[in-house]
Every structure is written in structure tokens, then in C-alpha cells.
Amino acid sequence: MSQKQINIAIDGYSSCGKSTVAKLLAKRVGYIYIDSGAMYRAITYFALQRGIIKDKSIYKPSLLKALPSLHIRFKNNEKGQVQTYLNGENIEKEIRTMHVSAHVSQVSAIKEVREKLVALQQDMGKEKGVVMDGRDIGTTVFPDAEIKFFLVSDLDLRVERRRAELQAKGIQVTSKEVEDNLRKRDYIDSNREESPLTKAKDAIEIDNSEVSLEVLVEQLHQMICDKVNELCVKC
């Protein structure tokens, strides 16, 4: 797509397939894919490593003190897969564990954490040409994104999808553990004070429970092309 560049926001609950769809769409249109959840996971991983989270409590003053020294970057590996780096260290594998998943919603409810990451995400999208997935992309990070999708999916499917993903990484978990984690995260993410997960008024809701990944990506790609063409007619 060599025409006008836009930003594409993809939001939704945990494990609705956002990142899979976002990555494929970004590849298709030649845009940069940004996984905003990985950034919240990176800060959570740091807090766990440093003992800032203990017995399910976060010692907020220590986290706030450390925040300015945390530098999060994305780089592709030799296979072209996006890897998350924290202060120069590749932590892609570490941030995907259930341990991080169990604490990330608490960390992402902290105002100062969100302020830092939202500013970074907005900076990444200032030149446009970005597909970003998360919880508040269409509402807070890119309220002016030219196209916004809100993905929904059956809970059973989400649980199995996440379990299979973890299993493929050698992490053994039961469906019950995954379901409890998804329910808890959905609840905290939707009820926090700072930019809670909610569908932007102008987002297109997509239920991907019944449709194959190929068909879904094809449909969304078509909507993106239509939007770009519409904007080009006006420009």
C-alpha cells in the first residue's frame, strides 16, 4: 500500500486474536506492528524481577522511582519476528509466562505507567503507518486513528487459543487456569479508572468466533483499502 498512510487501532479483550490479526494485517499493508500489551508486560516483568511485586501487592513508590529508567524497544529477530527489549535485554519469552499474565492487569491500572506507555505509543505512531493492538488504542492512544477494530470472540475459544499458544511455548497450563486469568484480566482491564478497556464509538466490532483467520484478515484488509481510497479521494 503506497498511498496515504493511516493508523490502525485493534482493541478487544484478552486472547481474542488481536495480535495474530494485527501482525498479518501489518504484513499485508507493509505497516509496522506494535504490541502495546508487550510494553505493559515488560514493566510487570521488571517489577516481578526486582521484588517490587510481592505476595500479589505492588510497592508503588519503587515502581514509580524506576519508571524513568525503563526503556522498551521492539526489534525483529532473524526470522522477522518482533521481539521486546527492556533496557537492551531481549525479554520476549519471559513476558509471555502465566506469572507475568497474573500480575499485568494490576500494573497496567497504574496511572503513571499508562502515562509513560501511552506517550511512547503515540510517539511510535506519529508518522502513521502503524497497526497497534491493545485495550485503549482506539480510545486513548490514537483517538483519531483512521480505522478502528474491536475484536470479540467466545470465551471457550479464547481459552483454548491461549492454552495452545502457551503449550506451543512449552508452558503447561490447564484450561481452568487460563480461563480464570482471562476473566480476571478482562474484569480489571474494563473496570480500572485510567483508560479502561472499552469499545470506541467509531470502532467496527468484529466477532471472530466463527470465521477463519484467512477470511477475517481478507475482510479487514478490504475495509482498510476502502478507507484509504476514501481518504485519497478527499485528499
CA pair distance 207, 205, nearest whole angstrom: 7
Nearest to 163 by CA among 98, 105, 228: 98
Angle at 229 between CA 199 and CA 224, to 5 degrees: 35
What residues contact 113, with CB distance under 8 A and at least 6 apart?
Answer: 40, 43, 63, 67, 107
Which residue's entry shows cell 502513521? 128
Binding segment toward ligand DC, per CB under 6 A, in 36-44, 45-53, 74-82, 209-217: 36-44
Residue 17 within binding range of ligand DC, rule CB under 6 A: no
Whether 4 contacts 235, CB under 8 Å = yes
Binding segment toward ligand DC, per CB under 6 A, in 52-60, 84-92, 130-138, 149-157: 130-138
**Residue 195 main-chain phi, psi, to 5 deg:** 30, 70
Closest distance of CB 235 from ligand DC, Å: 29
What residues contact 219, with CB distance under 8 A and at least 6 apart?
Answer: 206, 211
Pairing verdict, β 204-207 and 32-35: unpaired
Q: Of residues 73-102, which lie at the interface with ligand DC (CB under 6 A)?
A: none
Residue 14 within binding range of ligand DC, rule CB under 6 A: yes
Binding segment toward ligand DC, per CB under 6 A, in 33-41, 67-75, 122-130, 225-233: 33-41
Angle at 221 between CA 219 and CA 222, to 5 degrees: 65
Residue 150 within binding range of ligand DC, rule CB under 6 A: no
Q: Of residues 178-207, which lie at the interface with ligand DC (CB under 6 A)?
A: 185, 189
Nearer to ligand DC, 146 or 189 (CB): 189
Residue 37 within binding range of ligand DC, rule CB under 6 A: yes
Closest distance of CB 210 from ligand DC, Å: 22
Residue 153 within binding range of ligand DC, rule CB under 6 A: no
Q: How many residues make contact with ligand DC (CB under 6 A)?
A: 14
Residue 148 within binding range of ligand DC, rule CB under 6 A: no
Residue 7 within binding range of ligand DC, rule CB under 6 A: no
- In this structure, the chain runs to a length of 235
Residue 125 within binding range of ligand DC, rule CB under 6 A: no
Q: Which residues bind ligand DC (CB under 6 A)?
A: 14, 36-37, 40-41, 104-105, 108, 134-137, 185, 189
